[in-house]
Chain A
């Protein structure tokens, strides 16, 4: 865990250094230094203009994704499960699949007008093809034993659809959708550079035209933020729809945590509490706090003690909140297979101990916040 965080940190460092060096070497306004781009972005997200463009883009992509899913996912299941339909539809699909749909924008504009619908339709068309192909292939490869087993129970077509085909196809649809976010954002940029005055694509092209390159990077950051949020949204949807993919197998459940036996007692306790609140996620959250520190430094110089207090405050606040979460959710955690092995459920840590832990963490948070000064 720590290692992977370290590696991500290294990657960010390498990228920033390369950017810095490149901008120094070019010494041109087209590529501003990273800190200038970041501070322009920080300034923009305070105002309403950036968010208006962001919202316009988000609405277009989300509408396109929904439309693509509604159209392509059921069709993919149909083609994958009914050979007679597939025999006629597959040639149609594979003849049109290689056509770069992006060249159809002028036709889309002609049919659906200059407004949002033409842009949404273009993105939906491109995404829809990906979902359709992935879903069809996934359904084609469903092991016949699942169909036989449900048929032997007397299932009719509708029941086979809902008990077998739909759940078996879901992960394939989600994979296509996830891979499609990158494509969707790229097509969005293209579509928004025509016939519109809102959206991140317009924002970027406009800044470019006005030679305000730090603004242009604000738009670029906005697009990557949009992409990350979409990706995350799809991950959450998949976790919610496909619970069975995210459970741990019997081997992991049967064996006690392997590290636990070789560690000294105090370290074991530390490890158990770390597992209770998923301490690794505190480390994942750290970059956000530190990014804020970097921005704040422009106003007030940073000292080592301040940095230490900030990290301590973050860790303590999250520990208290997560401990509280485990305490009140214990009832639900015991039902959910993913969380059934949490120390709070198995009884490795008693309720009293959790309350003590929350109290202690809250105290540490209060103290470290006080040390940072009054608000």
Chain B
């Protein structure tokens, strides 16, 4: 469904960021992209959702080219991107408001999502009153409220403590099993990539290119983190990343 063909992007005057990036994401799949900090992962994500335009190459979703403000793609930015002046409920309903949904309908939908994500009773708190994990849940709720065809996540759990991170990884996996919205996750965590990516892409080099692709058949088991296959793939991924840099 998501098709990416030889994307190239450089920033003026001539700093090449991405070179000839191609991959595809099928409708029943999830994809994790790992790479070092500053290698152009966020730029790639911005290209995928139309916030930036590529120098060459193209991104299509179900055959249609992706432009700014595409309604079928929801994105969860690094540091969540919640508006400090809106409550959890208003932040969750923001996408629906922008689409022009009525106040009562969007409120009801946002409330249901927040409750589903374990934030019942926190609707009227501002982001500054929520913990990092709670803010991340609000960001997920806001993305899900749009009922997108594709979910993009930019290092969503990088600033959380280890236990909260695992809980939210489980939440993302659970949500995927329930709704089957394909997602693309950008991360620098090897274990995170193995736990959440049906396929894993290694990005690296300058300008960044796809250096390796891993298939992850064990993806989706609830106790995958304790299995031998999980450790073996994580080892292989680590080795590949070490070889590249």
Instruction: List A residues at the B interface (Cβ < 8 Å).
Output: 145-146, 148-156, 159, 163-164, 167-168, 242-244, 247-250, 253, 335, 337
Contacts and interface: CB of A to CB of B under 8 A. Distances in A.
Contacts, number: 78
Contacts of A247: 125-126, 128-129
A154 B99 CA distance: 8
Interface stretch (B3-11, B79-87, B227-235): B79-87
The interface centre, meaning the residue of B51, B77, B78, B85 with most chain A CB atoms within 10 A of its CB, is: B85
Interface stretch (B23-31, B67-75, B167-175, B206-214): B67-75
A154 B71 contact: yes
Contact of A150 (B78, B83, B129): B83
B129 A253 contact: yes
Contact of A149 (B69, B77, B85, B130): B77
A159 B98 contact: yes
Given A163-B83, A247-B128, A153 B77 contact: no
Nearest to A168: B85
B183 to A, nearest CB: 15
Contacts of A149: 75, 77, 81-83
B77 to A, nearest CB: 5
Contact of B130 (A145, A151, A155, A250): A250
B127 to A, nearest CB: 8
Contacts of A154: 69-71, 95, 98-99
Interface in B175-226: none
B83 to A, nearest CB: 6
25 contacts: A148-B81, A149-B77, A152-B69, A152-B77, A152-B81, A153-B69, A153-B74, A153-B95, A153-B98, A153-B142, A154-B69, A154-B70, A156-B69, A159-B98, A163-B83, A163-B86, A163-B94, A167-B86, A242-B85, A244-B86, A244-B126, A244-B128, A248-B129, A249-B128, A250-B130
Main secondary structure of the interface of B (DSSP, over half): loop
Contacts of B131: 250
A249 B124 CA distance: 13
Interface residues of B, number: 31
Contact of B84 (A150, A151, A155, A244): A244
Contacts of B124: 335, 337
A146 B81 contact: yes
B95 A148 contact: no
Interface string B102-140: 000000000000000000000011101111000000000
A149 B79 CA distance: 10
A155 B71 CA distance: 10
Interface string B29-68: 0000000000000000010010100000000000000001
Contacts of B74: 152-153
A164 B84 CA distance: 10
Contacts of B81: 145-146, 148-149, 152
B241 interface: no
Contacts of B130: 250
Contacts of A337: 124-126, 129
A265 B92 CA distance: 44
Given A163-B94, A248-B129, A249-B128, A151 B83 contact: no
B69 A155 contact: yes
Nearest to B125: A337
Nearest to B90: A163
B21 interface: no
Contacts of B69: 151-156
Contacts of B240: none
Given A168-B85, A250-B130, A250-B131, A150 B94 contact: yes
Nearest to A335: B124
A138 to B, nearest CB: 13
B146 interface: yes
A248 B131 CA distance: 12
A145 B125 contact: no
Contacts of A250: 128-131
Given A249-B129, A250-B130, A337-B125, A150 B77 contact: no
